[in-house]
Amino acid sequence: MCPSIERISGRTFVETIRIEEGRIHNLPYHNARMNRTRRDLFGAREEIDLADYIHPEPYRERTKCRVEYAREVLRVEYAPYHMRPVRSLRLVACEGIDYSYKSTDRQCLNDLFAQRAGRDDILVVRDGLLTDTSICNVALWDGTSWITPARPLLCGTTRACLLDRGLIRAGDIPAGDLSGYTRIRMFNALIGFGEQECELS
């Protein structure tokens, strides 16, 4: 059984944010998630606006902004972002994994990623249901709609935005029902919806 990441995290958390053309993407969703974590885990009542800490203007190419925080913002770092191609996935089960909050401690996810057995990434199965890859939320095409797991490891900011816009819908996806889907898209704060897709066979 995988331990709770939050329990061993040292109580530090992170937002990874896309900057491109001098603009912060999905800022309201990152603010909402960060402030929910601060409220739930640190009892913080005052809200923080990441716009006060992030300076996107110099960054024209896609850039990864990493904001580490606990009750308060601890550090902000910027790095060029290069997408890692994913063309194959391996299903890996881990019943006890808990990554409800975006922790800086990813050891359990790293251990699962090490089990990919030559594939590009993993697709984590919990309680018999699909969740996420090691770094992305997912949505599967059923011939009519893109379905994202209703109980992901982490409720990502891009996932929340896509749900709000009606571009995907949430539902349970049993691992045994994969034959009912033809394609899978992987997305996160840095990878847009439709930029990374695999055929399911």
Q: Which residue range forms the structural domain that includes residue 64?
A: 9-80
Residues 95 and 68 placed together within one structural domain of the fold: no
Q: Which CATH number belongs to the domain containing residue 61 in this structure?
A: 3.30.470.10
Domain count, the chain: 2
Do 58 and 95 fall within a single domain?
A: no
- Which residues have CB under 8 Å from 149's CB, separation 6+? 129, 130, 131, 132, 137, 138, 170, 171, 172, 173
Residues of the chain with pLDDT under 50: 1, 3-9
Whole-number pLDDT of residue 10: 60
Residue written as token pair 């024209």: 60
The answer to whether position 36 is within a domain reads: yes
Quick one: tokens of 139?
A: 């949505």
At residue 85, what is the residue type?
P
Q: Kindly calculate the radius of gyration of the chain based on its CA atoms and give it in whole angstroms.
A: 17
Alpha-carbon distance of 15 to 20, in angstroms, equals 16
The verdict on 113 and 142 lying in the same domain is yes
Q: The dihedral of CA 86, 105, 102, 16: what is its sign?
A: negative
Identify the pLDDT of residue 61. 97
Instruction: Indicate the residue among 35, 51, 80 that finishes a domain.
Output: 80
Q: What pLDDT is stored for residue 85 in this prediction?
A: 93
- Is pTM beyond 0.85 here? yes
Same domain for 111 and 163, yes or no, is: yes
> Which among 102, 111, 129, 105 has a CA at the least distance from the CA of 30?
102
> What was the pLDDT predicted at 46?
96
Over residues 69-93, the pLDDT tens digits come to: 999 999 999 999 999 999 999 999 9
What are the backbone dihedrals phi and psi of residue 41, each rounded to the nearest 5 degrees, phi first?
Answer: -105, -20
Q: For the segment 125-149, what is each residue's pLDDT rounded down to a tens digit?
A: 999 999 999 999 999 999 999 999 9
Q: Which of 53, 80, 107 is the last residue of a domain?
A: 80
Q: Are residues 110 and 168 in the same domain?
A: yes
